[in-house]
């Protein structure tokens, strides 16, 4: 079996789960172009823990981990199966990690998967973000996950390269601040040059682009799971409300 791709998605607002737009249409089309996974492992910005945890649940619940949105968003369910044997194998790949039977799929996962695999017919699970890890350790965790690509597992990182909700431009949804674009393009260049040190340094900076690191960290897992022989491409590039980069990155 050839290696499964690795995918990072800038997921943006939870409302993308309901919307039909260029971003969500792109997710739908992308799923048709890549090999069908045996399972999906999501590293989401919305599951932060002390220590690394691996979701181990036969029927992961759909977690609505937000507030202030319309009822129809809370009504969304993504009734997917959990791949217990692969989850157990994943836990063995990640030193010091533990299985978790109490989590589910948070919106970083299901708001993307409802567009890629709307029938919920591919088993899915998650790995948490250990808040005590350094950027270098997040990349290393991604390297440990790389072996899953040989088993048909799609490694999906879900966050945003630039994510600053405090300065969103609500009046101009398609606006972009210059510092948003500059940071996004700096990361793009580092990805293409496989400049690991720059990617790690940017994760550790407290800046307008990354005021908190949890939406950036999933990119480091994807980078770690990728390898130099992969072809890098960008299924979607764009910005929203000034301070969100919606860039998606595919290694295949």
The predicted pLDDT at position 174 comes to 85
Percent of the residues in the chain that have a pLDDT greater than 90, as a whole number: 93
Average pLDDT for 207-214? 94
> Rounded distance, CA 129 to CA 237, Å?
25
Task: Let me know how long the chain is.
Answer: 252
> Hey, which residues does 158 pair with through a beta bridge?
9, 44
Q: Which fold has domain 6-251?
A: Protocatechuate 4,5-dioxygenase; Chain B (3.40.830)
Tokens 């994943």 map to which residue? 90
pLDDT in tens, 36-88: 999 999 999 999 999 999 999 999 999 999 888 999 999 999 999 999 999 99
To 5 degrees, how large is the angle CA 186–CA 220–CA 195?
Answer: 45
CB 204 within 8 A of CB 135: yes
Residue 216 has pLDDT above 70, yes or no: yes
In percent, the amount of the chain with pLDDT more than 70 equals: 100
pLDDT of residue 205: 83
CB 96, CB 52: distance < 8 Å: yes
Mean pLDDT of the chain: 96
Confidence at residue 173, expressed as pLDDT on a 0 to 100 scale: 85
pLDDT tens digits, one per residue of 76-97? 999 999 999 999 999 999 999 9
Q: pLDDT band for position 1 (50/70/90)?
A: low
Domain residue ranges in the chain: 6-251
pLDDT in tens, 104-157: 999 999 999 999 999 999 999 999 999 999 999 999 999 999 999 999 999 999
What is the pLDDT confidence band of residue 34, given thresholds at 50, 70 and 90? Answer: very high
Give the mean model confidence (pLDDT) for residues 219-237.
97
List the one residue out of 112, 131, 108 whose CA is nearest residue 43.
108
């Amino acid at each position: 079996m050839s290696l499964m791709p690795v995918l990072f998605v800038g997921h943006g607002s939870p409302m993308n789960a309901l919307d039909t737009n260029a971003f969500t249409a792109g997710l739908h089309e992308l799923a048709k172009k890549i090999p069908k996974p045996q399972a999906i492992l999501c590293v989401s910005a919305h599951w932060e823990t002390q220590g690394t945890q691996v979701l181990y649940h036969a029927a992961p619940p759909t977690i609505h981990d937000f507030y202030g949105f319309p009822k129809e968003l809370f009504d969304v369910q993504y009734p997917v199966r959990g791949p217990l044997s692969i989850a157990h194998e994943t836990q063995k790949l990640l030193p010091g990690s533990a299985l978790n039977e109490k989590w589910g799929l948070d919106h970083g996962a299901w708001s993307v998967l409802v567009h890629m695999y709307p029938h919920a017919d591919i088993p899915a699970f998650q790995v948490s973000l250990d808040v005590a890890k350094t950027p270098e350790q997040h990349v290393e965790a991604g390297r440990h996950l790389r072996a899953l690509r040989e088993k048909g597992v799609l490694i999906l990182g879900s966050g945003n390269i630039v994510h600053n909700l405090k300065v969103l431009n609500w009046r101009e949804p398609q606006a972009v601040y210059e510092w948003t674009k500059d940071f996004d393009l700096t990361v793009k260049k580092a990805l293409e040059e496989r400049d690991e040190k720059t990617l790690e340094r940017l994760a550790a900076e407290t800046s307008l682009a990354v005021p908190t690191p949890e939406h950036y960290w999933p990119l480091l897992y994807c980078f770690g799971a990728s390898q130099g022989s992969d072809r890098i491409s960008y299924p979607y590039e764009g910005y929203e409300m000034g301070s969100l980069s919606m860039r998606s990155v595919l290694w295949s």
